[in-house]
Amino acid sequence: MNDPDLPDSADAPEPTEPHPTARRSPALIAVAVALPVALVVGVLVAAVIAGRDPIQEPVALGTVPAPAAESPECAALIAALPENLGDFERAELMDPAPVGAAAWQADDAKEVVLRCGVDRPLEFNAASPLTVVDAVQWFEVPGEEGLDASTWFAVDRGVYVALTVPHGSGPTPLQDASAAITSTLEQRPLDPAPIPTP
């Protein structure tokens, strides 16, 4: 017997379907999924672009005395120089670019500069200490006060080659330059200045 206070199951209202506008359309779901994905992709692309090497400006080099810069030896050396000297990447020279010169830049804008055919360094004499790197004899001239670089001169070739390297660059720039010099310039006897008299 049914309780009179309870509605008869026959009189119970049937469950209603949700209103059609309450359903999520496939287009709305697609947009909801696509927006976060697009945002993540955008952030990743921005990170990749920001992480790329900055565009390096051409390097401006002043002129220095280099009487043999247009020699066949210097032309051969410049053509044989590598794209990288250690962490330094070959850079374009600003016009007017001196003959017989090349430069490399690092991400921190430090530069390595090579000049071929320069004069014998004034400090190079018969008592000067030399450093041999891959069969090339180098003479170091420390940078002047406030200049955070040294210039190394290859002194045992038919032409003098100067390589200015920032301090803290490690040995690789000198090694890579030595390899190019060894492959293109014939070794010659040293020709230092006489030892200065006191």
pLDDT in tens, 138-170: 999 998 767 899 999 999 999 999 999 999 999
131 in a structural domain: yes
Where in the sequence is the domain holding 116, given as residue range(s)?
A: 72-184
User: What pLDDT is stored for residue 68 in this prediction?
Assistant: 98
Could you tell me if residue 16 is inside a domain?
no
pLDDT for res 53: 47
Domain CATH for 109? 3.40.1000
* Residue 140 placed within a domain: yes
Give the whole-angstrom CA distance, residue 192 versus residue 143: 20
* Within a domain: 87: yes
Query: Closest by alpha carbon to 68, among 120, 130, 104, 103?
Result: 120
Residue 40 lies inside a defined structural domain of this protein:
no
**Token pair for 136:** 């090339």
Structural domain count of the chain: 1
User: Which is more confident, 120 or 2?
Assistant: 120
Mean of pLDDT over the chain: 82
Q: How far is CA 20 from the centre of its chain?
A: 61
- How far is residue 136 from each of residues 30, 40, 188, measured CA to CA in Å? 67, 53, 10
**What pLDDT band is residue 103 in, cutting at 50, 70 and 90?**
very high
Look at residue 189 and tell me if it is in a domain: no
Looking at residue 46, what is its pLDDT? 39
132 domain-assigned: yes
Tell me, yes or no, whether 159 lies in a domain. yes
> By percentage, how much of the chain surpasses pLDDT 70?
71
Q: Give residue 69's identity as a one-letter amino acid code.
A: A
Q: How confident is the model at residue 34 (pLDDT cuts 50, 70, 90)?
A: very low
